[in-house]
């Protein structure tokens, strides 16, 4: 019973075999998936996936690297779509100074505006933050993000920073990167974060775990992430699966 908290099955990388792949999830132990929007068009594609598959849920929002061409008034579209059935969160939203292809003030405007939609609609947020730890945390503090809640997805910062996010009540999303040999920092984080605050994610089609590093990722690869987290913490794989499933229900405020 594995719950993938963060996937992009609307991505073109799945155009060839999307239905075949998704139809195989349940029999391979992938119980539920949240499809996360990134650019504007992916919001409708996410909604379509939630309607086509009973085990797929969604998040609506605009990724910081995809907000450059938007009109501010398009925030209302996100608000409207966030009210639809099976939409569990606003995301992915945040700051990305790695690609840095959208002016930082524009990224910040969309991050704040979407945080406010989440607050008003009483939904958690899925935060994307890359090479932008300080600005992300400063904004979260200023916006009282602890009142909104959510997950820091594809966590890539230090243990010290993780503590700050945890203190704000956030969950930490861990995926394929934790299996990489050179991901020393993330392995430390995976050991440090309390077991009741870790959630599993693929971010597929990206970030496939070893032994599929560099290949297309899918939720079917999550057992490799489970094995790594279990080994790092010295607990059983069953414990990791069970705890992360329950954590995901708590994060996305699902009854069961």
Residues that bind Ni ion (CB under 5 A): 203
Residue/partner pairs of 191-194 with CB below 8 Å, 24 or more apart: 191/232, 191/233, 192/159, 192/162, 193/162, 193/166, 194/166
Return left, alpha or beta for 217; rule: phi > 0 is left, psi -120 to 50 is alpha, else beta: beta
User: Which C-beta is closer to Ni ion: that of 39 or that of 239?
Assistant: 39
d(CA 194, CA 240): 11
SS3 content of the chain, % helix, strand, coil (to 5): 50, 20, 35
CA–CA gap between residue 187 and residue 161 (Å, rounded): 14
We find the least distance from the C-beta atom of residue 8 to Ni ion, in angstroms, to be 6
C-alpha separations of 147 from 33, 61, 121, 125, 210 in Å: 25, 19, 12, 11, 37
Q: How far is the CB of 235 from Ni ion (least distance, A)?
A: 27
Q: How far is the CB of 5 from Ni ion (least distance, A)?
A: 10
CA distance 244 to 175: 12
Toward Ni ion, which CB reaches closer, 10 or 203? 203
Toward Ni ion, which CB reaches closer, 203 or 228? Answer: 203
Nearer to Ni ion, 96 or 203 (CB): 203
- Compare residues 44 and 230 and give the one whose CB is closer to Ni ion: 44
Q: How far is the CB of 36 from Ni ion (least distance, A)?
A: 5
Nearest Cα neighbor of 95 from 149, 58, 69, 134 is 134
Shortest Å distance, C-beta 238 to Ni ion: 27
Q: Which residue, judged by CB position, is nearest to Ni ion in the bound state?
A: 203
Distance in Å, CB of 83 to Ni ion, minimum: 22
């Amino acid at each position: 019973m594995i719950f993938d908290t963060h996937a992009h099955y609307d991505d073109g990388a799945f155009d060839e075999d999307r239905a075949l792949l998704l139809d195989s999830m349940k029999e391979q132990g992938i119980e539920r998936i949240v499809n996360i929007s990134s650019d504007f068009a992916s919001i409708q594609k996410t909604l379509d996936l939630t309607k086509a598959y009973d085990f797929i849920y969604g998040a609506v929002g605009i990724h910081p690297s995809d907000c450059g061409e938007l009109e501010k008034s398009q925030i209302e579209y996100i608000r409207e779509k966030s009210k639809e059935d099976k939409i569990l969160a606003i995301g992915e939203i945040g700051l990305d100074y790695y690609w840095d292809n959208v002016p930082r003030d524009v990224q910040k405007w969309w991050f704040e505006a979407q945080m406010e939609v989440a607050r008003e609609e009483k939904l958690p947020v899925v935060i994307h933050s890359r090479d932008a730890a300080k600005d992300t945390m400063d904004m979260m503090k200023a916006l009282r993000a602890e009142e909104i809640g959510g997950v820091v997805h594809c966590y890539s910062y230090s243990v010290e920073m993780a503590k700050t996010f945890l203190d704000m009540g956030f969950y930490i999303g861990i995926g394929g990167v934790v299996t990489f040999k050179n991901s020393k920092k993330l392995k430390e984080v995976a050991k440090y974060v309390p077991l009741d605050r870790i959630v599993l994610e693929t971010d597929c089609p990206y970030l496939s775990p070893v032994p599929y590093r560099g290949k297309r990722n899918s939720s079917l690869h999550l057992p490799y992430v489970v094995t790594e987290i279990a080994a790092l913490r010295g607990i059983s794989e069953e414990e990791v699966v069970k705890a992360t499933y329950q954590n995901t229900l708590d994060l996305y405020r699902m009854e069961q």
